[in-house]
């Protein structure tokens, strides 16, 4: 009777009644859940490890040298025109503020070597954190894609650059509000005479951005772009409205202006460069920019001293691997050299100590 009482008491406390199925946490008896699947575990021996180290070294070092040499063959010329130095031609312009009168400065320079293929002109900024979380979120992608409702009622993510004087801002947000607006012009000097070099302003943005992500809002067939944006106002720091970015070219105006599109693709690091213009090699010429004297004319509008930033103009050619960047070549050479060195060290150790256990004396 005592035994029956204990069994009943145990069932009562466990919550299992007569005839009820007992729950179990044991995994199902399958090959997967019981870890009985076939597996391959390599046995690392000197015969497999040493050749792997040498093969990696022999492959990586030549690849790294090739990439490094290719990167060094890319022509690049950089001018810092921030104007902090009192001797700089742009020193008188360096204290400009938003919406102030543009200040023009001229910087003369000399190219010692020819830029033979097409040349890419970039502007560069330093100490500008486009990767800040609040900054990256401060935009309205629906508005930029041409949505009429978002045009007059922007996303709250754009605050505090959402409205101005009770009018919605187009384009809204901190990214658009801080758009780079210096104007760069390049001249070649021959015998004291300056001749302007043609700069191509289209074809600098990603195709998907230009044709998919950014669209101008549509109105009736006779409405102009300025009429479509009539209920909006320009960003606070802009000197002109979005429909005046390039009024002479309807395919490069408004939200589909390529300078604007390039700026809206935020950079990952605080020091970055963005494509500004293309210098195409003239037909029949041996170089897009031959050696000689040049001058850079800058309409200095963009203030950077408030955040201790710097501004640069970069001229660069490209290769099959893109722009000038020696890091990838150095990384390949470093990894290949380390692997080859480890292979040599392990080979010496194996040759000296590998057979020690096999040659041990067996006692009688």
**Residue 140, pLDDT above cutoff 50:** yes
Mean pLDDT of 80-89: 91
Say what the pTM is: 0.79
pLDDT bin (cut points 50, 70, 90) of residue 360 is: low
Largest pairwise CA distance in the chain: 121
Query: Residue 228: how many CA atoms within 13 Å on its side-chain side?
Result: 25
What is the pLDDT at residue 23? Answer: 76
Partners of 299 in the beta sheet? Answer: 104, 183
What is the pLDDT at residue 100? Answer: 79
Residue ranges per structural domain of the chain: 47-74+320-351, 77-317
What is the pLDDT at residue 1? Answer: 45
Residue 140 · residue 173 · CB < 8 Å: yes
Residue 294 · residue 193 · CB < 8 Å: no
Pairing verdict, β 167-168 and 163-164:
antiparallel
* pLDDT, greater one: 196 or 42: 196
Query: Residue 9: how many CA atoms within 13 Å on its side-chain side?
Result: 6
Q: Round the average pLDDT of the chain to a whole number and report it.
A: 89
What is the pLDDT at residue 298? Answer: 95
**Residue 232, pLDDT above cutoff 80:** yes
**Residue 52, pLDDT above cutoff 90:** yes
**Residue 233, pLDDT above cutoff 80:** yes
What is the pLDDT at residue 20? Answer: 60
Kindly report, residue by residue over 279-318, the tens digit of the pLDDT.
999 888 889 999 999 999 999 999 999 899 999 999 999 8
Kindly report, residue by residue over 1-18, the tens digit of the pLDDT.
444 444 444 444 555 555
- CA angle (106 as vertex; 101, 109 as ends), nearest 5: 155
* pLDDT, greater one: 226 or 99: 226
What is the pLDDT at residue 161? Answer: 95
Closest to 188 in 3D by CA, of 275, 82, 115, 90: 115
Mean pLDDT of 88-98: 89
**Residue 73, pLDDT above cutoff 80:** yes
Lowest-confidence segment of 98-102, 203-207, 354-358 by average pLDDT: 354-358
Kindly report, residue by residue over 153-188, the tens digit of the pLDDT.
999 999 999 999 899 999 999 999 999 999 999 999
């Amino acid at each position: 009777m005592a035994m029956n009482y204990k069994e009943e008491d145990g069932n009562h406390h466990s919550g299992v009644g007569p005839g009820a199925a007992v729950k179990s946490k044991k995994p199902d008896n399958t090959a997967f859940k019981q870890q009985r699947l076939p597996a391959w575990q390599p046995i690392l021996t000197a015969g497999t490890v040493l050749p792997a180290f040498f093969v990696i070294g022999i492959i990586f070092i030549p690849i790294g040298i090739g990439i490094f040499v290719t990167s060094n063959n890319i022509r690049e010329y950089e001018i810092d025109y921030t104007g902090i130095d009192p001797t700089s031609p742009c020193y008188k312009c360096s204290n400009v503020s938003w919406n102030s009168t543009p200040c023009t400065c001229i910087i003369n320079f000399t190219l010692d070597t020819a830029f033979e293929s097409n040349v890419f002109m970039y502007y560069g900024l330093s100490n500008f954190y486009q990767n800040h979380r609040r900054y990256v979120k401060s935009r309205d992608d629906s508005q930029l894609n041409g949505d009429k409702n978002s045009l007059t009622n922007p996303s709250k993510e754009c605050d505090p650059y959402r409205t101005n004087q009770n009018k919605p801002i187009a384009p809204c947000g901190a990214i658009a509000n801080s758009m780079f607006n210096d104007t760069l012009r390049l001249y070649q000097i021959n015998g004291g005479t300056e001749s302007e070099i043609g700069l191509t302003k289209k074809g600098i943005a990603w195709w998907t951005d230009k044709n998919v992500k950014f669209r101008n809002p549509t109105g009736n067939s006779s409405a102009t772009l300025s009429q479509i944006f009539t209920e909006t106002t320009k960003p606070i720091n802009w000197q002109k409205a979005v429909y005046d970015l390039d009024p002479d070219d309807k395919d490069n105006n408004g939200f589909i202006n390529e300078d604007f599109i390039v700026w809206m693709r935020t950079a990952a690091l605080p020091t970055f460069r963005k494509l500004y213009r293309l210098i195409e090699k003239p037909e029949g010429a041996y170089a897009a920019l031959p050696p000689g004297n040049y001058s850079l004319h800058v309409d200095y509008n963009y203030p950077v001293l408030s955040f201790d930033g710097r501004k640069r103009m970069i001229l660069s050619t490209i290769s099959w691997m893109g722009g000038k960047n020696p890091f990838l070549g150095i990384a390949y050479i470093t990894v290949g050299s380390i692997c080859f060195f480890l292979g040599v060290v392990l080979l010496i150790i194996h040759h000296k100590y590998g057979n020690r256990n096999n040659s041990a004396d067996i006692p009688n």
